Amino acid sequence: MNEPYIVKISDSDAMMFGCEADERVSEFVAKFDGWEYESEFERISYLLGTDVFIEVASEESLNEGALRAQIPNEKALDADGGTTFLSLREWDGKEHWRVRASDEILRAISEDEDGGAAYLLLSPRHIAAEELRNAFEGRAPQEFARIIEALEAKYDCKDRMLCYVVCYFTPKGKEGMRTDFGVQI
């Protein structure tokens, strides 16, 4: 029950959660430690879209051997007859994990056709999706530090939770990154 998942927290925001007990999440934390940039909000940092990003992809377009983390009881958005996922990946094609994307979540993180951003919360302990939704739903990012500290205390997290803002790219936004920054895939 340590697999990554994603929840909608406002009309325009979603939060992807990863537990470090999941080997993929632990590997991601180890790789990107120190790559983050401070944001205007306490306890939230940015990971640049030229390093790692979230994209929408059909099951058919993702590597068959990659591991899959699905959200139970979410209505999946069908694309070309298959399931649509949000995939956390690097430009060289390495996928860290994927979560099933509902239409509601895609709308929340895709304010325009270029893409947007999602919050990525990484924790040493598993937290239920419903609890995350209840804790963050309707809250401004300025409040996230207090919420994260309360969750750390509740779950006795000796290691701090990490909260990042990660770029979400639609196909048009991804093409723009290729053009503007010369990133390759």
Q: Which residues of the chain have pLDDT under 70?
A: 59-82, 185
Cα distances (Å, whole numbers) of residue 51 to 4, 37, 114: 20, 12, 17
The per-residue pLDDT for 138 is 93
d(CA 29, CA 15): 17
The per-residue pLDDT for 74 is 33
pTM, full prediction: 0.84
Element holding 181 (H helix, E strand): helix 171-181
The per-residue pLDDT for 102 is 87
Please report, for the chain, the start and end positions of each structural domain, with discontinuous segments joined by +.
5-178
The per-residue pLDDT for 146 is 96
